[in-house]
Amino acid sequence: MRIVILKSHLLQALQTISKAIPTRTAKPILYGVHVAAMTDGLQLTAYDLEIGIQTLIIPAEESDEPTLQIEQEGSIVLHAKYLLDITRKLPHKLVRIDVTDLTTTIRSGSATYTLNGMDPREYPKLPEITEDMSLSLPADVFISLIEQTNFATATTEIRPTLTGVLFSFKEPELRFIASDSHRLSIHSIQAESKHAYEQLEAIIPRKSLLELMKILPTSDVLTDVYIADNQLLVNFGLTKFYSRLIEGQYPDISRIIPTTWRTAIEVDPKQFTESIERAALLARENENQVIRLYLRRTHIEITSHSPDIGKVTETVDPKAFEGEDLQIACNAKFLLDALKALQNEQVRIEFTSPGSAFTLKPSTKDRPLHLILPVRFGPNA
């Protein structure tokens, strides 16, 4: 294998695939990136057996300088972390890589590295996904589906299905649902049905979605989603992202979301978030980070109490108030996570009773929706 490549192109591709390099593994070959020089370009693959990322670098068609020259085809596996650190620091914009047997020489300006490569025949194969049905959605929409739900997944393994996000498509709606059993987040969009499945369910691991979100472009470029054989494949541009799926039946959430309310408020998200944050400063001492909300037509009072430190009272004027006065207690972090996900939209919060789940959503639409279970409202809560 013999190639010359623009450092910036190699670096970007290495950064993309590095999300599938494990920090610790018993199989040293998994620390490696599989590098293959082919007639149509340079293909980089990383696969930790959970997440796989493959990206192809092709010569730029209109460019004054050479971006990639494949002088001789071939492949090698190189330690990804070293290759990334080395590439980042190379002195010249062009990089020459020569592989003889497993010995790999990297030259750039004044620097010459000779790395011990690993045998590409020992590198694990990416899952084969033969499905020809796919679902298409813009990358930025995909990111928003992840952002609105992924944070609400369970971080403990008690119920493995809850550690992932339910990807649920039923034409023409695609829903993402996540819950740690104390809160639930749901977002949905109208998905393109061209060449699409009619119905599809899969549970995608939290970590896979976190890594996918980092490499998805923040533009409306279309991503193609394939789900088959307990594997997810997301295809965008010249990059393929693979993830194993979580097996099992996701709990039925159809009856959890309340359809009525007795108290509803609308709040300015920034002002409300800052008030909750101030109350949360004292709530962080107790395990459930409990804050109390006193909802009154005239004003909302937010309080928190830590026996060791003291107490705090915040007053917020609601933008709108409908229904009855109510007192309710909840986990401040859950509230802040939901408000952060909803970003800068005016937020509508609907309550039924001090013991029932309440919901947050944009005041002008029904999705995304975040549901939070309150904590018991007692003298020491």
Binding site for its own copies (CB under 8 A): 79, 82, 85-86, 89-91, 104, 110-116, 274-275, 277-278, 281-282, 308-316
The Cβ-side half-sphere exposure at 353, using a 13 Å CA radius, reads 3
Between residues 115 and 265, which has the closer beta carbon with respect to its own copies? Answer: 115
CA–CA dist 48, 305 (Å, integer): 45
Between residues 130 and 307, which has the closer beta carbon with respect to its own copies? Answer: 307
Give the nearest distance from C-beta 91 to its own copies in angstroms. 7
Give the nearest distance from C-beta 68 to its own copies in angstroms. 23
Give the nearest distance from C-beta 109 to its own copies in angstroms. 9
Give the nearest distance from C-beta 356 to its own copies in angstroms. 28
Between residues 10 and 212, which has the closer beta carbon with respect to its own copies? Answer: 10
Give the nearest distance from C-beta 236 to its own copies in angstroms. 31
Between residues 50 and 277, which has the closer beta carbon with respect to its own copies? Answer: 277
Give the nearest distance from C-beta 317 to its own copies in angstroms. 9
Between residues 115 and 234, which has the closer beta carbon with respect to its own copies? Answer: 115
Between residues 105 and 193, which has the closer beta carbon with respect to its own copies? Answer: 105
